[in-house]
Structure 1
Amino acid sequence: MEGSKILVILEDFDLRAKITEILTVGKYNVKSTDSGKHAIDIIRKNPVDVIISGVNVSEIDGFGVLLTVNKFTETAGIIFIMLLNDKDYDLARRVMELGADGHLMAPFDDGELLNQVGVKLRKKRLQHDLFLKKHLQLRSIDNSKDDMSWLRSRFEGSLPRHFKKNQVLYYKGERRSLGLHYILSGKVKTYVADTAGNVFITGIYGPHEYFGLQGTLLGTENKEIAEAIDSTEVLTIPFAEVQHLITDYPEIFSVFAKDLALTLSKRDEKLLDIAYYSVRKRIAKAIIGLTQLSHNAERGRLILPRHDLACLVGIASETLSRVLSDFTKEGLIEKEGNNIIVLDAKSLMLMKN
């Protein structure tokens, strides 16, 4: 490729000058030296695209230069062509075994030299382009889909798993269940609990939402317990497949990062509510948030066990029952068994602290 940088390492001044001239006419940027040690200094300071080296050069011979180039990650990708003085096929085999990309046996003409350099450079460029296409481009995704729609499509190859009401999907500390879990139907709560049995719900997820992101990105173990609130159907992408997904489509990591940041922001807001808001306002806020989560209208229906709602707000069940009774008397909600029907969403949203 025109403009590629080539380093020529040869003791023979006339041959070195001739090869330099041929390559310069071919519109390559060429440097030359008769010293293997000097060549290594040049490569480390200013990496080149191609090295053309003889076997017998001063200070460090051609084999030493080849081994040094292949030893370091930053130089291992340099194309290395060895010049051989005679048709010594054993020597040629040794050169290739040590990691050279090609060799030229004397005598060779201008065309052979330019052809070998050009072929090697084109092959390297093709490999680089294929790597970029496979590993660094997210937009091999259908551009008609947004990121979340595309992510949801990744779950389609998974077999759904069914969980009964109150069945645990995974426990804190488990590794075998690491992965992203997508809800087809039902609801799932994630929570942490202490040794005394006190529970704090960290999230409630409904249809077309996924959970398990924190443990998956950390890659260590699940940090929470996940339990089905209702009869639930879930698809799962295992941890190893998520890692492959991130490798193949690096930009999907930004989707995960945004979702994780949003989750942490909601938890920060929740801690602020616990610290400064009255119990009435916290309960009202939770009811509105959960009915919006269920995509209900203003007269929404919240279907959630009282104990779970209390754990989500961070209060005792008895306190929750007392406040819900007050809301019922004030005409804000209506209770129907375990269900809460929102009658006045605006008043709940504007609840004073």
Structure 2
Amino acid sequence: MKKILLIEDNPNVLQNTSRMLQAEGYMVITANNGRQGLEMAQQQIPSLIICDIMMPEIDGYGVISALRTNPATTAIPFIFLSAKSDKTDFRQGMELGSDDYLTKPFTRDELLGAINAQFKKQDIINSYYRQELDNLRGNISKSLPHQLLFPAIEVMGLADILVKNYHAMEAHEVPDIGKRIRKAGRNMHEMVKKFLLYAELESTENSTEWIAQIRNSKTTFVDIEIASCAKKTAEYYNRSTDLVLDIQDAAIQISDSYLNTIAKEVIDNSFKFSPEGTSVSVSGSSDDKEYCLSVTDHGQGIEPEQIASFGAYMKFEKKLYIQQGTGLGLAIAKRLVELHGGRLEINSVPYEQTVIKVFLPLAI
């Protein structure tokens, strides 16, 4: 049963409208002033709110302003009631986030029509997000097994060699196989973490509370964080001599862990898809407003169609099977950058030069 909160200081209008809505099968909760209505909205979380504008203590504009800043109530459909029909009042209500506006006196059909329109719109929105979530789940369920297939086969194959041939092996051969198993296992672990992080970012991207929370974090030793990440990545690929660093320090509005994730994905992409012996340059600098992390390599690059669909992971998932995760890693980096109010840019000439730039706001 749909729950409707009716906020109205006129007792007759409050009673008559409440009875009308109850007769239509709605659960109705009422408040006779703005302050009480605001409290009930936050406690009851109704399906829809109908609110008068001119009220004592807190008027309708104050009610909707407070509700739209609360993540728990920001998406509740809101209909204004007013004895005025002035366009200025109508415009002010819409700018504050009202979904509809009824002028008193209103008819039963007008009220029910406005309510039904809002519920239909809400159903469409909910259906869209359910479909998006289902698509994400389906995409992950289809892609994850493919990404884990090859390292899993390698682990099982190497383990099988140990089980069947350990008695005939030289002493030095066993540690070598163990290292290869450990590397394949680490690759599986990293891929699972990527998929889980991507799913988390997809599911929380519309949470204003979560976004506000992560944007309050700061990294103060940016040069140390990025340099450490770059060196570890170069060492992993046995290409420490290919790494060129030129990183300035700054304070950035992002946590250490998320900055590390962004830097790792961008730098790893450059090492993974450029040949040994070619340079990978990692630089960082800032102006008055933002910090720029720039990573340049001279590898196979990124095709124009990939850049065009960049971030829309589902649109180029087939390429991930071939390129083993490049799209997912950069999609994660891009999403994290954008959630922190920054941007990620790619300029690539295949087999000549690729430059990926990350722009993040400086700490306030």
The TM tier, using the shorter chain, reads: 0.3 to 0.5
TM-score, length-normalised on structure 2?
0.45
Q: Which structure shows the bigger proportion of residues in strand conformation?
A: 1
TM-score, length-normalised on structure 1?
0.46
Decide which structure has the larger Cα Rg and report it.
Answer: 1
Q: Which structure shows the bigger proportion of residues in helix conformation?
A: 2
